[in-house]
Structure 1
Amino acid sequence: MNGISKDNEDGIVYQDLIGDIIKRSEKEGAFEHLKGKGKPQKLDGDLSYNPDRLLNKILKDNNVLPSWIQMDKEIEKRKAELAGYSNEYNIRKSIEEINKKIFNYNLSCPPSAQKPKLKFQDYLPNDS
């Protein structure tokens, strides 16, 4: 085995020394103490390397929301509260605060999820 030359499809010859060491160690029983140890991992059908998918799965499995989703929930809650205001000063102050949250939200969320800022005119009471 010692550094057997291998020929790849490009015709380049190389020596797989590490692979040879691992194979020799397996034959000599160096890894026998590892058999049957540990908890087997469940593998899903897609074994491709996708760090975003992996991260989302880990977050979901541990009931952790990304910060931008938490910010979105807060913004929507504040917008619902805003609908109940009739005082122009309260409306203006709330819109300013919500727009600050929207600005921070837009910095951290994916571009497709960004929100437009609120316009004061859209929230004025109809009787004015």
Structure 2
Amino acid sequence: MNKDSKKEYEVDERIQYNDPISEVVKRAEKEGHFDHLPGKGKPLKLANNYFNPEEKQLYKTMKDNHVLPRWIELANEIDVLKEELAVLDGKQRKEKVKFTNKKIKQYNRLCPPSLQRNKIYD
């Protein structure tokens, strides 16, 4: 195989997937279509509409009393368990993986779908 035929089959690592919607937005941004939007440069007011209206008071009360939602507590527990897994091996590791996966299953039932986590495989 000569040098030229090898080049023919090499993949250019600079090739990336470009999302068509992102390309449209980037082009519009470059052309200045977003320059005169109302509120440009001002902070977003997420506190008013961020939560489901029925849950708004619940989350406000929890925040005022420094209480985390259960799924956030589980996320913190899972992070600690994953750190502990790094130093374990053998039977202890398998048991810890099984326990961590149970926590991940609980977490996935409670958290928003976009924040779900994958199981750990040993």
**TM-score normalised by the chain length of structure 1:** 0.51
Q: CA deviation at 1:58?
A: 1.6
1:78 to 61, 78, 81: 81
Residue 73 of structure 1 aligns with an amino acid whose one-letter code is: N
Structure of greater relative contact order (alpha carbons < 8 Å, 6+ residues apart):
2
The structure with the largest alpha-carbon Rg is 1
The correspondence of residues 33-52 of structure 1 with structure 2, limited to 5 A, is 46=48, 50-52=53-55
Deviations 1:11-63 (A, max 9, x none): xxxxxxxxxxxxxxxxxxxxxxxxxxxxxxxxxx959x823333222211111
More strand by share: 1
- The alignment partner of 2:56 has SS state of helix
- The alignment partner of 1:116 has SS state of coil
The correspondence of residues 1-128 of structure 1 with structure 2, limited to 5 A, is 46=48, 50-85=53-88, 87-120=89-122
Deviations 1:51-107 (A, max 9, x none): 33332222111111111111111111111111111x221111110110011111111
Cα RMSD of the aligned pairs, angstroms, is: 2.2
User: Which 5+ residue runs of structure 2 have no aligned equivalent?
Assistant: 1-46
Identity %: 38
User: Which 5+ residue runs of structure 1 have no aligned equivalent?
Assistant: 1-44, 121-128
Residue 95 of structure 2 aligns with an amino acid whose one-letter code is: K
Q: Give the length in aligned residue pairs.
A: 74
Counterparts in 2 of 1:63 and 1:90: CA distance versus 1, 3 Å: same
Residue 112 of structure 1 aligns with an amino acid whose one-letter code is: S
